[in-house]
Amino acid sequence: MGGLSEENIKGVVLALLSSAFIGGSFIIKKKGLKRAAACSGVRAGVGGYAYLLEPLWWIGMITMIAGEAANFVAYAFAPAVLVTPLGALSIIVSATLAHFILKEKLPRLGVLGCVMCIAGSVIIVVHAPRERAIDSVQEIWGMATQPAFLLYVGSVLVLVFILVFHFSPQCGHTNVLVFTGICSLMGSLSVMSVKALGTSLKLTFEGNNQLIYPETWFFLLVVATCVVMQMNYLNKALDTFNTAVVSPIYYVMFTTLTILASVIMFKDWDGQSADNIISEICGFIAVLSGTILLHSTKDFERSSSFGSSYAPVSPTLSTRLCNGNGEFRRDEEDPEPPEDMCMTKQ
């Protein structure tokens, strides 16, 4: 039985806080964008930058950064197989807040999707493996250079290479799996390096300085490279395809690959009973199904308020940030007239 160690509890609390912040930030930014559009008459989607003068938008941005920071720290405390799937909860927070604050109706099947995500998350939390105690960045380096994980990294790089140079030019703009596949593959490496970096920083803050080791700086370089690449292709995917198509596919692939990477690198499932592993997988399937269901409820999709805000179930600051002002991309089709939310300010 995995149970919850003190470290795991910290990780879960941080992951939940992260989801709450990120989920909430979409709503705050959306309000900010609406206000800005109503006041200036020009929407972000058609080239307006009025939102930059809107304090609400900045509050939303700060909330999102806080959420991303919490997510980053969560990885330093708990295994990726625990933290990553909990990212789905940010969608629930947005959906619920949109229902109550923005008065956007959440359809019945959307509620069912939320219930599934929550049930699945609870199962994952209950059965999560304990985080192994790590004493130095070299220990992580040892994990990252074990043959099994090197094989994983190698396969990922080969696949990405093929996708980028062979499939991207050929069918990148017709097949949604190409760009999202690149993002997801790189995303799994991002999370592993984020976890390595986060753990090193945690050790450093605990007085065990890891900055003197080149491995720490190497992981930082990997984080930067992977995140830039992931960000670039996520934007391509979002520019080419509808968010409602990209998001669930990306979430499913990214989360699955991250769990696979973590199981190989950190041996999360070693020493766990078969019951626990089966339960985790089923809980994970429940979260995935709930996410797909939430995305496929058509009314919800059509409300279009989430625009690209749904994509960012990603592990890293910049990947989410880059979508920050794409929020209104699909709102051009939104028939609803700008509300005069800035009346009080006039």
Residues at the interface with a second copy (CB under 8 A): 1, 3, 108-109, 112, 115-116, 119-120, 122-123, 126-127, 273, 275, 278-279, 282-283, 285-286, 289-290, 292-293, 296
- In the block, residue with structure tokens 């559009």: 37
Q: Measured from the CB atom, is 115 or 220 closer to a second copy?
A: 115
Shortest CB 129 distance to a second copy, Å: 13
User: What's the CA gap between 165 and 30, in Å, rounded?
Assistant: 37
Q: Min. distance of Cβ 107 from a second copy in angstroms?
A: 10
Q: Around Cβ 237, how many Cβ atoms within 10 Å?
A: 26
Query: Considering the complex, what minimum distance in angstroms separates the CB of residue 81 from a second copy?
Result: 16
Separation CA 132–CA 206 (nearest Å): 16
Distance CA 318, CA 341 (A): 30
Burial of 10 (0-12, 13-18, 19+ CB in 10 A): middle
Nearer to a second copy, 235 or 297 (CB): 297
- CB of 286: closest distance to a second copy in angstroms? 5
Strand ranges, E, within the chain: none
Angle between helices 176-205 and 243-265 (to 10 degrees): 50
Q: Which is nearer to a second copy, 110 or 172 (by Cβ)?
A: 110
Q: Which is nearer to a second copy, 4 or 59 (CB)?
A: 4
Q: Which is nearer to a second copy, 89 or 286 (CB)?
A: 286
Residue 232, both tokens: 């670039």
Q: How far is the CB of 2 from a second copy (least distance, A)?
A: 8
Q: Which is nearer to a second copy, 255 or 325 (CB)?
A: 255
Least distance (Å) between residue 56 CB and a second copy: 35
Residues 266 and 84 sit within 8 Å (Cβ to Cβ): no
Phi, psi for 246 (deg, rounded to 5): -65, -45
**What minimum distance in Å lies between the beta carbon of 91 and a second copy?**
16
d(Cα 293, Cα 286) in Å, to the nearest integer?
A: 10
Contacts of 64 (CB under 8 A, 6+ apart): 21, 22, 25, 26, 29, 320, 321, 324
Nearer to a second copy, 234 or 286 (CB): 286
Give φ, ψ of 106 to 5 degrees.
-95, 115
Q: How far is the CB of 126 from a second copy (least distance, A)?
A: 5
* CB closer to a second copy out of 116 and 322: 116
**Shortest distance in whole angstroms from residue 127 CB to a second copy:** 7
Q: Quick one: 248 or 326, whose CB is closer to a second copy?
A: 248
Instruction: Return all residues near 114 (Cβ < 8 A) that are at least 6 apart.
Output: 92, 95, 96, 106, 290, 294
- Which tokens hold the place of 144? 């990252």
What CA–CA distance (Å, rounded) separates 218 from 210? 12
Q: Are 322 and 234 in contact (CB under 8 A)?
A: yes
